[in-house]
């Protein structure tokens, strides 16, 4: 066996000298940095923006995303906050609802991009894989907090949590659980790779890659959510976030069907992106080289052999 089980960290705080860093927030921050790096590179590759533009966009989009994610979590788990409102701001203890973060963060980010002169559809295309990458990293914050794990299992990659966490979930100490944080992290990492492949090989219409992300993410979220044992509202036998996932997938598919029949309002050269841009760059480089290439030196023509040979010259009278 590769693993007997996956251990959980003893605490959610990393101490570096006098500095205490909450691992949950650290993982989210690392995810954001990775997402900004990837999106900035994709903007520059398409020649539609810069990394500075992406930093401007990220500041606004991420703040809005965190607020939206927290509001979603509080709204869907109000009973945990109604008697202690101070807990609403304690985000380092966990509790960010991704659907709310996407619902508020994406529109604000697209708005910020438009202010920098970047087409919202192109920005959405550049950002889609980066959001999946950021989520893949950020999910590890749940591991540090020993939260949002799945039902009991004895699989080799089962997650071990503290006895206190197991009892709080309604199980005996020593029970091992499905590591749903790991499932979702790997799903999002694979989704990031698939989206990059689709964009590179098929160049879908601007904005469609974001719809692919929404469909892909919430398909994964649906089955991962079904494994979790943390308290949640149930409707018709499904958890609330599973219903949210269904709605998101339907909306993503509906957007693809609706937008596919509309005229394309963006220059094809922008859609083609980096490959076409690089091709033109190489063509210009070759033309430039030919313009400045020195003419080959020609050897001077030899004189007429008869005139050059003194013996063959007419001796005269």
Domain range annotation of the chain: 13-280
Q: Say whether pLDDT at 279 is over 70.
A: no
> Measured between alpha carbons, how far is 19 from 28 in angstroms, rounded to an integer?
18
What is the spatial distance between Cα 86 and Cα 109, in angstroms, rounded to a whole number? 28
When comparing pLDDT for 2 and 31, which is higher?
Answer: 31
Residue 79's pLDDT band (cuts 50, 70, 90): confident
CA–CA distances in Å: residue 268 to residues 21, 113, 262: 46, 20, 15
**pLDDT number for residue 291:** 52
Q: How confident is the model at residue 313 (pLDDT cuts 50, 70, 90)?
A: very low
The pLDDT, as a whole number, for residue 274 is 46
The answer to whether residue 5 scores a pLDDT higher than 50 is yes
Whole-angstrom distance, CA of residue 249 vs CA of residue 37: 27
Of the candidates 58, 37, 73, 54, the residue with the CA atom closest to the CA atom of residue 105: 58
How much of the chain exceeds pLDDT 90, in percent? 70
Q: What is the greatest pairwise CA distance in the chain?
A: 134
> Quick one: which of 42, 65, 193, 59 has its CA closest to 118?
42
> Which band of pLDDT confidence, cut at 50, 70 and 90, is reported for residue 303?
very low
Over the stretch 198-232, which tens digit does the pLDDT of each residue have? 999 999 999 999 999 999 999 999 999 999 999 89
In SS3 terms, 191-234 reads as HHHHHHHHHHHHCCCCCHHHHHHHHHHHHHHHHHHHHECCCCCE
Record the pTM. 0.82
pLDDT confidence band for 152 (50 / 70 / 90): very high
Sign of the torsion angle spanned by Cα atoms 175, 167, 8, 230: positive
Rounded average pLDDT over 13-38 = 92
Looking at residue 97, what is its pLDDT?
94
- Average of per-residue pLDDT values in the chain: 87
Give, for 14, the enclosing helix (H) or strand (E).
Answer: strand 13-16
- pLDDT for 278 equals 45
Whole-angstrom Cα distance, residue 29 to residue 23?
A: 10
| Cα torsion through 108, 109, 115, 120, rounded to 10 | -110
DSSP labels, 58-69: HHHHHHHHHHHH
Average pLDDT over residues 60-76: 95
Can you give the pLDDT at residue 181? Answer: 97
Question: Does the pLDDT value for residue 3 go beyond 70?
Answer: no
Identify the band that residue 295 occupies on the pLDDT scale cut at 50, 70 and 90. Answer: low
Q: How far is CA 67 from CA 34, 74, 78, 89, 225, in A?
A: 20, 11, 16, 10, 22
* 108 vs 84 pLDDT, higher one: 108
Task: Report the percentage of the chain scoring pLDDT > 70.
Answer: 82
Per-residue exposure over 259-278, b if at least 16 CB sit within 10 Å of its own CB, e if not: eeeeeeeeeeebbebbeeee
Please report the pLDDT score of residue 253 as a whole number: 98
Residue 22 reports pLDDT greater than 60: yes
More confident residue, 315 or 30: 30
Provide the token pair at 139: 């999910």
């Amino acid at each position: 066996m590769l693993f007997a089980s996956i251990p959980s960290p003893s605490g959610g705080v990393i101490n570096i000298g006098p500095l205490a860093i909450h691992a949950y927030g650290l993982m989210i921050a690392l995810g954001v940095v990775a997402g900004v790096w990837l999106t900035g590179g994709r903007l520059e590759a398409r020649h539609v923006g810069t990394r500075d533009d992406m930093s401007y966009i990220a500041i606004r989009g991420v703040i809005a995303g965190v607020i939206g994610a927290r509001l979603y979590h509080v709204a869907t788990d109000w009973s945990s906050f109604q008697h202690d409102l101070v807990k609403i701001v304690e985000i380092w203890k966990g509790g960010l609802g991704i659907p709310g973060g996407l619902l508020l963060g994406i529109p604000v980010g697209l708005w910020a991009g438009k202010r920098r002169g970047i087409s919202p559809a192109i920005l959405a295309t550049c950002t889609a894989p980066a959001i999946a990458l950021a989520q893949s990293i950020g999910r590890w914050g749940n591991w540090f907090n020993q939260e949002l794990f799945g039902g009991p299992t004895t699989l080799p990659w089962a997650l071990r949590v503290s006895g206190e966490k197991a009892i709080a979930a309604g199980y005996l100490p020593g029970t091992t659980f499905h590591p749903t944080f790991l499932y979702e992290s790997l799903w999002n990492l694979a989704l990031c790779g698939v989206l990059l492949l689709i964009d590179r090989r098929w160049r879908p219409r601007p904005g469609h890659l974001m719809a692919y992300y929404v469909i892909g993410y919430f398909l994964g979220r649906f089955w991962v959510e079904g494994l979790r044992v943390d308290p949640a509202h149930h409707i018709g036998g499904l958890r609330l976030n599973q219903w949210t996932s269904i709605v998101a997938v339907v909306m993503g598919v509906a957007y693809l069907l609706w937008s596919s029949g509309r005229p394309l309002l963006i220059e094809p050269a922008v859609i083609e992106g980096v490959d076409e841009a690089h091709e033109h760059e190489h063509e210009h480089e070759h033309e430039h080289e030919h313009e400045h290439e020195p003419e080959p030196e020609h050897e001077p023509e030899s004189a007429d052999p008869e005139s050059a040979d003194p013996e063959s010259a007419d001796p005269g009278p």
